[in-house]
Amino acid sequence: MAVRACAAGFCCADVYQDLDVFYPTGNGVDWGVHLSRMGVPVSVVSVVGDDRYGEKMREALAAEGLDISHLRVEPGNTCVMLMALKNGCDRVHLEAIDGVMENFVLTAEDEEFVLGHDLIHTDLFGNCLGSLPAWHGAGKTVVMDFSVFSQDPQYQCEELFPFVDYAFMSFEEDTPDLRAWLKKVQSLGPRVTIATLGEKGSIAFDGERFHECGIVEACEVVNTVGAGDSYIAGFTHGLITGCDLDDCMREGAELSSRVIGCFEPY
């Protein structure tokens, strides 16, 4: 039976006003789109507004093959991230407008639907953190993107790590302190902790040893948006297809390389 994946939590429209284009996105949405393109059944559980961006996001995600039956529509504005490109390829966040995402909560029916999946992705900003113990207790594989905030006391991540199987986080350098942090996080519950390091590759700890993976050079860097999300998607696809940890990391690096070499807004 095919593994069913669910992206639960944050979604938004990345809007490049100067280019008059947008991306339907969010950590889990990007992840889900890439997995769907690789043949994995993916559902999105989140919310959009009843505005133009909400309508276009639902259209775009349905066209990508995602199950949007639980991407609900509520009165108000879709969450928007106003964006710009610096130096032709580096993304710049200008302003975040929360819209209907601010008060999003999972309903009991949403929770039941999420638990019908084998693998669940979430993040710090999708208002789903209270569901982690139930997902973990039900034996689901939980993939979580902590971005650059894994050590930020505001988010109390150490209370979340015990309910996560694969903990992804972003750093700039491979340092002794980072390795100590990966070890500590893994000791709190995750099977594997993974740090992406931008152009310096990635490093993972599985409880026994560290694994390192370099980047895959892109032919051309067009847009760095989604590099981390695509890495997690490639890594997850490796998990689903039975790859070992090193090959999962390599698949993440390969997909990330392809993604930063294209710019396909809606």
Q: Percentage of the chain with pLDDT > 70?
A: 89
Per-residue confidence (pLDDT) for residue 17, from 0 to 100: 78
> And the tokens for 61?
């995600």
Enumerate residues 6+ apart whose C-beta is below 8 A from 220. Answer: 261
Q: Does 264 map to a domain? A: no
- Higher-confidence position of 95 and 220: 95
Cα dist. 251→141, 210, 224 in Å? 19, 17, 18
Q: Does 208 map to a domain? A: yes
At 259, the pLDDT band (50, 70, 90 cuts) reads confident
Task: Identify the residue whose tokens are 């710019």.
Answer: 263
Enumerate residues 6+ apart whose C-beta is below 8 A from 27. Answer: 7, 9, 10, 121, 123, 125, 126, 145, 147, 229, 232
- 123 sits in the region (left: phi over 0; alpha: psi -120 to 50; else beta) called beta
pLDDT digits (tens, 9 = 90+) for 101-114: 999 999 999 999 99
**CA–CA gap between residue 123 and residue 26 (Å, rounded):** 9
Q: Does 112 map to a domain? A: yes
Say if residue 188's pLDDT is above 70: yes
- Residue range of the domain that includes 205: 5-259
Three-state DSSP at 37 gives helix
At 238, the pLDDT band (50, 70, 90 cuts) reads very high
Q: Does 87 map to a domain? A: yes
Say if residue 261's pLDDT is above 90: no
Q: Does 61 map to a domain? A: yes
Mean pLDDT over 3-15 rounds to: 95
pLDDT digits (tens, 9 = 90+) for 137-171: 999 999 999 999 999 999 999 999 999 999 999 99
Strand order in the sheet with 141-145: 67-74, 42-49, 5-8, 119-123, 141-145, 166-170, 192-196, 202-205, 210-213
The residues with which 166 forms a beta bridge, in sequence order, are 143, 192
Three-state DSSP at 109 gives helix
Three-state DSSP at 68 gives strand
Q: Does 187 map to a domain? A: yes
The residues with which 44 forms a beta bridge, in sequence order, are 7
- Higher-confidence position of 251 and 216: 251
Q: Does 174 map to a domain? A: yes
For the chain, what is the radius of gyration of the CA atoms? 17
- Higher-confidence position of 82 and 257: 82
Per-residue confidence (pLDDT) for residue 85, from 0 to 100: 67
CA angle, 38 then 43 then 47, to 5°: 130
Q: Does 34 map to a domain? A: yes
For position 95, which CATH number holds?
Answer: 3.40.1190.20
Q: Where are the beta strands (DSSP E) in 163-252?
A: 166-170, 192-196, 202-205, 210-213
Query: How many residues comprise the chain?
Result: 266
Cα dist. 36→33, 230, 256 in Å? 5, 12, 16
pLDDT digits (tens, 9 = 90+) for 46-105: 999 999 999 999 999 999 999 999 999 999 999 999 887 666 556 666 788 999 999 999
Q: How many domains does the chain have?
A: 1
At 22, the pLDDT band (50, 70, 90 cuts) reads confident
Q: pTM for this one? A: 0.92
Average pLDDT over the chain reads 91
